[in-house]
Amino acid sequence: MLEIDYFYNTLHSSVISLLGYTFKHESIKDQIISKIPHVIIEDIHLDFSLKSHLRNEKLNHLFEGGNFPRSNTKWFVLDTLEVKDHSNHLGGREKTIRTVLNKIRSELLQENAQNQYKLLITCPVHTSPKMGNVQDFSGGSTQIYVSDFVTIINDDHLDIVKNRSVYQPEVAVGRQNTNDEWKISLDKLPNYSYICNYENC
């Protein structure tokens, strides 16, 4: 089984990552996020723009005298539960999530020449016993396809669902892999310290 630093190293090398969680693992999700320099994106809707959000963040910190993180690497954390859909159409929220994530991905790829900003999507998952305990991401599969690195929190480890940087044969999206090489232990998470310096950020 892989150690927790593998998760953060891969997170660092990926532009967009996805972390799936069940509500009983929400505290683990928060602990994982707390280890990286990040800003949480809230109130997400169809007109959301990452560039505008970044500009507003900088202005708020400037005028309020806050300490805007000086790290060359910055994660924006977006939980799909924060995506607002005001239509009453069936599948409307899924469509909104797809539109918003594709727009953010496009902005990141266009404006991120120096790999300065990254996105970590967090998303609830549910297990379907009828489908052989397949874990599905709430809100559709768009977040899986736009992400470079996808993991799901289990009780004592993370299951790697997708990793673009490594060839992963015979692993279907959403299905648990029984191979320990595609599992990341959470044993050392409480003591893990994300170190950001000029070499690795």
- Please report the pLDDT score of residue 175 as a whole number: 46
pLDDT band for position 136 (50/70/90)? Answer: confident
Other Cβ atoms closer than 10 A to 65: 6
End-to-end, the C-alpha distance of the chain in Å comes to: 26
Q: Band of the pLDDT at 46, cuts 50, 70, 90?
A: confident
Pairing of strands 134-137, 117-128: antiparallel
- Calculate mean pLDDT across residues 141-147: 90
Mean pLDDT, the chain, integer? 78
Mean pLDDT of 7-32: 94
Q: Is the pLDDT of residue 25 over 90?
A: yes
Asked if residue 39 has pLDDT above 60, the reply is yes
Percentage of residues in the chain having pLDDT higher than 70: 71
- Mean pLDDT of the 57-71 span: 53
Q: What secondary structure letter does DSSP report for 162?
A: E
pTM: 0.81
pLDDT band at 111 (very low <50, low <70, confident <90, very high): low
- Distance (Å, rounded) from C-alpha 45 to C-alpha 29? 23
Q: Which helix (H) or strand (E) holds 62?
A: helix 50-64
At residue 37, the pLDDT reads: 86
Mean pLDDT check: name the lowest of 50-54, 89-93, 114-118.
89-93
pLDDT of residue 164: 87
Q: Under the phi-then-psi rule, with left for phi > 0, alpha for psi from -120 to 50, and beta for the rest, what region is 193? A: beta
Q: Are residues 7 and 159 in contact, defined by beta-carbon separation less than 8 angstroms?
A: no
Which residue has better confidence, 113 or 135? 135
Domains of the chain: 4-191 (3.40.50)
